Amino acid sequence: MSGNDPGNQGRSDEDADDVRLMRLVGRGDTVAFEKLVERHQALVAGTVARMLGSNSDVEDIAQQVFIRVWKSARRYVPRAKFTTWLLKITRNLVFNEMRRTKRHAHVPLQPEPGAEDPPLKDEMNLAPDASVLEMELQRTIEEAILQLPETQRMALVLRRYEQLSYEQIAEVLELSVPAVKSVLFRARTELRSRLSKYLG
């Protein structure tokens, strides 16, 4: 049975190309490595930023992910999609970073009063109220996501921002598909209660 879904076909071609590049990287091919980094940088950096907040060392951690890719290339076996394997490395480094910062600092859940930047006045001459509210809602959603437990946070980020399937998320998090659905349900319930004043 050959999958006739063109979207799927494109994705498997891209995955085959990733695997081909990884084989070259395993032989020390730096050009192939640069191509892989270019292709997947947005996925890795975006996931790191959404997991840790954009004021963290996103670039540093994204770089560490690709250093791991380089170091593991010779041992790489394409059991899953390349991006799934890449996101597993990302997950490990992000979770390590979350545990490290939790040990070293207590992040206040509420921003200090007066610490918020005043919303920018309508530079684009949009209806300022609507755009400020939209920005505030986005920021509130991002802050609420940052307060979720790590597994819920990762599942939500991969589903909401990277549009991964339940199966792929299950592989990245090393959970069963029903467990992923349950984690996502808890994450969404938690978000909904934190955002209730906006959704009212």
Question: Quick one: DSSP state of residue 54?
Answer: T
Between the ranges 27-31, 110-114, 121-125, 128-132, where is the mean pLDDT highest? Answer: 27-31
Class of domain 1-105: mainly alpha
The pLDDT of residue 116: 45
Report field, pTM of the whole predicted structure over 0.85: no
Distance between CA atoms of 9 and 24, rounded to whole angstroms? 23
Phi, psi of 65 (to 5 degrees): -60, -50
| CATH of 122-200 given 2.30.40.10, 3.40.50.1980, 3.40.50.1240, 1.10.10.10 | 1.10.10.10
Tell me the domain boundaries of the chain.
Answer: 1-105, 122-200
Residue closest to 90 by CA, chosen among 29, 154, 25, 174: 154
Higher-confidence residue of 124 and 100: namely 100
Evaluate if residue 127 carries a pLDDT over 80: no
Distance between CA atoms of 137 and 20, rounded to whole angstroms? 42
Instruction: Indicate if 122-200 has the same CATH topology as 1-105.
Output: no
Evaluate if residue 22 carries a pLDDT over 80: yes
46-61 b/e (C-beta count within 10 Å ≥ 16 → b) = ebbbbbbeeebebeeb
Question: Angle CA(185)–CA(173)–CA(150) in degrees, nearest 5?
Answer: 65
Question: Quick one: DSSP state of residue 177?
Answer: H
The pLDDT of residue 111: 43
